[in-house]
Amino acid sequence: MKFLDQAKIYVRSGDGGDGVTAFRREKYIEFGGPDGGNGGRGGDIIFEAVPNLNTLIDFRYTQHFRARKGGNGAGSDRTGAAAQAVVIKVPIGTQIMDDDRETLLADLDEAGKRITLCRGGDGGFGNANYKSSTNRAPRRSDKGWPGEERWVWLRLKLIADVGLVGMPNAGKSTFLSVVSAARPKIADYPFTTLHPQLGVVRLSMTEEFVIADIPGLIEGAHEGTGLGTRFLGHVERCAVLLHLVDGAAGNVVDTWRTIRHELEEYGGGLAEKPEIIALNKNDAMTPQEASARRRALEKASGAPVVLISAATHQGVPELLRTIQNKVTAIRQEERDNAS
């Protein structure tokens, strides 16, 4: 299945049914009077977040969604049938943006969350509604109210606990494949990851977290260089950032500063998120190189640096335990603040 995290679609709710002008005419019934019924309500456009979707690929092939019109009224005071709502199912974490791509209309960040984006038009009144003591035979009936229509953008932001960031070829895909059942593409050239990957890390029967690997960032990504910062939205909801630095590249401090600069330029609160720094590819460095580069990175970042090798699994279990403890503490704090 292809990954698609943005889509533009057109939605239109149904028009209301028309009211009718009718009079009761039956044998032996004198002064039958008006009995035109009201029109039915048009169908709504509803978005619902469901847990079994993880891409917006369906909206590449279907971009127009229209609800049906409400039924027209009829004689004998019969009201037209209300049209069924059109329920559009989207992945959890989908944001609905206005056509300007800036105004947020809804954020479906929980399973089962629903939003009525376009309300169906109300049905028009039949002439029976206008009967009064002074107007015994009204001939007025109304058309149904029109529905609402708009173009909207759907933007998917994956729900993950840990966001995996770093330069291309830092070993992010290898790390994800080692700690989870995910099988991303792994190769010895940059930008092997072209779209975000999710992996579930299980440390025990009761402890697990979701990690999101996004395509690598390079200098100037906030200006569109490389793959740009398009996929950084997928780590906006993360509790922790895991910054993987390629220790074998040598210039570890410059590499770390480059990614930090891109996170700050992107905004979205990413630069303020807790960061765990891991110096990867320890197996490709001598002990002296690993020690020197680790100290330099700790001095520049002001934070402890974990030395690991994703290929040989060295230091990975200890790193996962650190991540789990951090994620658990942050999620608990969020729950306490919400209550």
pLDDT in tens, 46-98: 999 998 887 888 898 899 999 999 999 998 889 999 999 999 999 888 999 99
Q: What is the pLDDT of residues 202-247, one digit of tens each?
A: 887 788 888 888 776 655 544 555 444 556 776 778 888 888 888 8
* 132 and 203 part of one domain: no
Domain containing 242: what range?
162-338
What parts of the chain have a pLDDT lower than 50?
A: 1, 187, 189-191, 221-222, 226-228
Does the annotation flag 80 for ligand binding? Answer: no
The last residue of a domain, from among 156, 181, 207: 156
Inside any domain, residue 53: yes
* 191 and 141 part of one domain: no
CATH of residue 300's domain is: 3.40.50.300
* 18 and 113 part of one domain: yes
Taking alpha carbons only, the member of 173, 170, 201 closest to residue 281 is 170
* 202 and 64 part of one domain: no
Q: How many CA atoms lie within 13 A of 122 on its CB side?
A: 4
* 232 and 313 part of one domain: yes
Does the annotation flag 283 for ligand binding? Answer: yes
SS3 call for 96: strand
The residue length of the chain stands at 339
Does the annotation flag 211 for ligand binding? Answer: no
**CA dist 148 to 41, 42, 116, Å?**
13, 10, 11
Does residue 231 contact residue 266 with C-beta atoms inside 8 Å? no
- d(CA 201, CA 190) in angstroms, rounded, equals 25
pTM of full prediction above 0.75 = no
Does the annotation flag 282 for ligand binding? Answer: yes
Number of structural domains in the chain: 2
- d(CA 280, CA 290) in angstroms, rounded, equals 10
Does residue 246 contact residue 170 with C-beta atoms inside 8 Å? yes
- d(CA 121, CA 18) in angstroms, rounded, equals 11
Does the annotation flag 134 for ligand binding? Answer: no
Does the annotation flag 190 for ligand binding? Answer: no
